[in-house]
Structure 1
Amino acid sequence: MPKRTGRHPEKALSAVAVRAAKPGRHADGNGLYLEVDPTGARRWLLRLTIQGKRRDIGLGSASLVTLAEAREMALDMRRQARNGGDPLADRRRAQRRAPSFEEAARACHDEHKASWKNDKHAAQWLTTLETHVFPTLGPVTVDAIGTPEVRDCLLPIWLKTPETARRVRQRIGTVLDWAAAKGFREGENPVRSVIKGLPKQKAQAEHFVALPYAEVPAFLARLRETTKAGPMVKLLLEFVVLTAVRSGEARGARWSEIDLVSKMWTIPSARMKAGKAHVVPLSPEAVAVLEGAAKLRTGDDPAALVFPGEKSGRSMSDMTLTMLLRRLEVNATMHGFRSSFRDWCAEATTVPREVAEAALAHALESKVEAAYRRSDLLEKRRDLMEMWADYCEGIIVTGA
């Protein structure tokens, strides 16, 4: 009688038996089987208990994997399972191809864009990567990207355009975090430590340049008289000042958002920085600006832009307003007029802080305060905006 062995029982398969095996499942021992289909196709199967659960693992076709090779593979997997590992999961990871950075970025973008506040941001998110990252990291698989690769990618723009560089860095990090969550890479995200290998950026100005509020009335008088811009551009700039909104919110305003009867402008959440709809009470002066814009309308589409740009259906660019300020030699930014308004509230009125902050659609820093303040203070804000408009007209304002 043949001897028993620790690895294979008496009925262990032989190379001849593998070739002659009939349809069915044939045991070799220790969980290794040869499966034969009615068609004659032969393949190896290993049955294992992995972390308390029974698993069947295919080891390949018997026409490609010999009996000796199947036994060796089975032995390695049994050892791994006995030591607490998961050979099936490891095998799947090894067989999974990591995408290139560009492939990962586009997939990440597709999954995330629905949660972003507007289409413009979604487009800019991808455009910055196409411009600054894809030329170098685009073809590199995400599992091969480390701190040196990220550093070399960021270095050309790190000091030249700091704000853009910081955004690119954050977006590279988002893509690599996505790749890690999908199982394409392991270890710490290299973006978190890359700044240590980059030169120190100069401190950035924390505040937008603002026109002192005492100069705003004179500025508006000059704006109305200037011939350095068309009437629609001048109306838009005045509307921004009178309503204290962000430039983009005014540039994107549509007639369907305006209620001239109740003198209110409702900005939808999709166009607000905080993602929450904001109602702007309109002063008589702001309504007069809208009436001026209405006279320049070329149609009656309620969804049309209030302050359209030169291209049909397109809003004006922020640069159009900035260039007008430069031509008027005004040392201020468009966003700075919000600061002018806020300074006036604090220094020239007794209006409570929460009313001024609500007028600017600022989110409350205190979560407790935000939870208890359920009113949008609309009527108080209406009084405030009328006081501001009066001030801008040169009327002396006192009280709240």
Structure 2
Amino acid sequence: MGSFTAKKVQSLIREAKPGRYGDGNGLYLMIPRAGTAYWMCRYTFAGKRRGMTLGKCSHLSLAEAREQVVETQKVIRSGTDPLTERKREEKITISTVQDLFDDWYQELERRLKHPNIPKRVFERDIAPAIGIMTLDSVTPMDVRAIVRKVTNSGRPTIANDALMYLKQLFNHGIKLGLVTYNPASAFNVNDAGGVEKSRDRALSIDELSYVFAVFKENRTSFTRDNYLACALLVVLGVRKTELTEAKWSEFDISNEKWNLPGERSKSGFGIAIPLPPQAIAWLEELKIRACGSPYVFPSRRSSKQPYMGKDTLNRAIAKLFGKEPGKKLQPENRMGDIAEFTVHDLRRTCRSLLAAEGVPGHVAERCLNHKLKGVEGVYDRYDYYEERKQALIKVADLVASIIDAD
């Protein structure tokens, strides 16, 4: 019998003095500097000292921990390293596509800046079809069905992404020795959304005038929040989510400035964005509409996230073009003959308006929070704040009468 009693263990945990306390027979109570107390079994295998955690004290009693040590010693006597055995058992628990994704996601969290992007594609377009299937039962036909369904829903870029994530997911399974074959490997972009062409759509002043008039005419489906979001995107040239996920705490209205933090910027660099008077007026209206929310564009429906959804603006614009994904009966096209555009094209429109107003290229690029390339980017730490302020005021003056027209 060891030297611990249940009372002694509780007393040590309460004292919370960091250290390793032995019960004998290789069982130790571990009290870390931070975190909760846990049990550890120390043993020697093939001449090497090893340590294996057994579980948190809150989940495992002293008697149960002692039982586990006895079992561990039986495994050692049979000539097997308990740690190797545990890893093998963990591997067996990855049996479905969902299990494999959960394991892969831990790697994505370490590696990617935005691991939520593949997670969203998996949860929305892959898991409903094959999430509960065992790894070896997924066939190329299943992969094709997923990719076709996404392509047919009018999302070719997401179809390409879904295919890419399926390939990477099953490659992760091959790496772990769980499958020997990748059912997505033979497919390429031509089987999914096709080769993506670089877009260069920017709206002219006439087109902007027409588009904002259509937005206004359709107030019931195209909300005032959507309208003001599009106005700000044209005038400030920021990326969609940089705006739609913004918090009021980032805005310094009295100094006519928006401090966009680096962790929310695609470039990874924070930037102070000068706000023209028109943008200030739109933000003041949004502040009233936000009804005390910390977000500039709070979610108007009950959802997991507290701000406007990633697809909200694009779907609202697509609907005006007579396209609504997932609905058999398509709405009426209210945009007429104007060429289709997406939310990102409004950022590109800002860039072309800057050029039309004679703003130098390096200033326009900084307005869009692009890193300057080459030698200029390395040596030019000057942020062109005043030049950017004048440039954005020019754009705002150019389009304000269109946007604010009744």
Which band: TM-score by shorter chain?
0.5 to 0.7
Alignment match, 1:109: 105
Unpaired segments ≥5 residues, structure 1: 1-44, 48-57, 63-88, 396-400
Contact 2:259 2:270 in 1 (8 A): yes
Letter aligned with residue 130 of structure 1: A
Alignment match, 1:84: none
Alignment match, 2:131: 134
| The one of 204, 214, 217 aligned to 1:212 | 204
Contact 1:116 1:122 in 2 (8 A): no
Contact 1:213 1:343 in 2 (8 A): no
Mapped pair 1:343 → 2:343: no
Report the count of equivalent residues. 298
Are the structure 2 counterparts of residues 278 and 225 from structure 1 closer, same or farther at C-alpha, using a change threshold of 3 Å?
farther
Are the structure 2 counterparts of residues 207 and 104 from structure 1 closer, same or farther at C-alpha, using a change threshold of 3 Å?
same
Q: Deviations along 1:21-78, whole A, 9 cap, x unmatched?
A: xxxxxxxxxxxxxxxxxxxxxxxx999xxxxxxxxxx99969xxxxxxxxxxxxxxxx
Contact 1:210 1:336 in 2 (8 A): yes
Are the structure 2 counterparts of residues 219 and 186 from structure 1 closer, same or farther at C-alpha, using a change threshold of 3 Å?
closer
Matches within 5 A, 1:162-241: 162-182=156-176, 193-195=186-188, 199=191, 202-207=194-199, 209-217=201-209, 219-220=211-212, 223=215, 227-228=219-220, 229-241=222-234
Measured in 2, the distance between the counterparts of 1:367 and 1:176 equals 39
Are the structure 2 counterparts of residues 262 and 207 from structure 1 closer, same or farther at C-alpha, using a change threshold of 3 Å?
same
Unpaired segments ≥5 residues, structure 2: 1-44, 48-74, 322-332
Alignment match, 2:144: 155
The TM-score normalised by the length of structure 1 is 0.60
Mapped pair 1:390 → 2:403: no
Contact 1:172 1:191 in 2 (8 A): yes
Q: Deviations along 1:82-115, whole A, 9 cap, x unmatched?
A: xxxxxxx9xx99x975943432221111332355
Measured in 2, the distance between the counterparts of 1:179 and 1:210 equals 43
> How far does residue 220 in structure 1 lie from its aligned partner after superposition?
4.3
Measured in 2, the distance between the counterparts of 1:333 and 1:296 equals 25
Partner SS for 1:232: helix
Alignment match, 2:41: none
Which one has a bigger Cα radius of gyration?
1
Q: Deviations along 1:134-186, whole A, 9 cap, x unmatched?
A: 35xx4125xx98xxx4x333222445514333212221232244345546567
> How far does residue 339 in structure 1 lie from its aligned partner after superposition?
1.9
> How far does residue 290 in structure 1 lie from its aligned partner after superposition?
0.7
> How far does residue 202 in structure 1 lie from its aligned partner after superposition?
4.5
Are the structure 2 counterparts of residues 332 and 184 from structure 1 closer, same or farther at C-alpha, using a change threshold of 3 Å?
closer
- The two structures, once aligned, show a CA RMSD in angstroms of 4.1
Alignment match, 2:386: 379
Contact 1:117 1:271 in 2 (8 A): no
Instruction: After superposing the two structures, state which structure 1 stretch, 201-210 or 256-265, moved more.
Output: 201-210
Alignment match, 1:322: 317
Contact 2:363 2:387 in 1 (8 A): yes
Are the structure 2 counterparts of residues 232 and 177 from structure 1 closer, same or farther at C-alpha, using a change threshold of 3 Å?
same
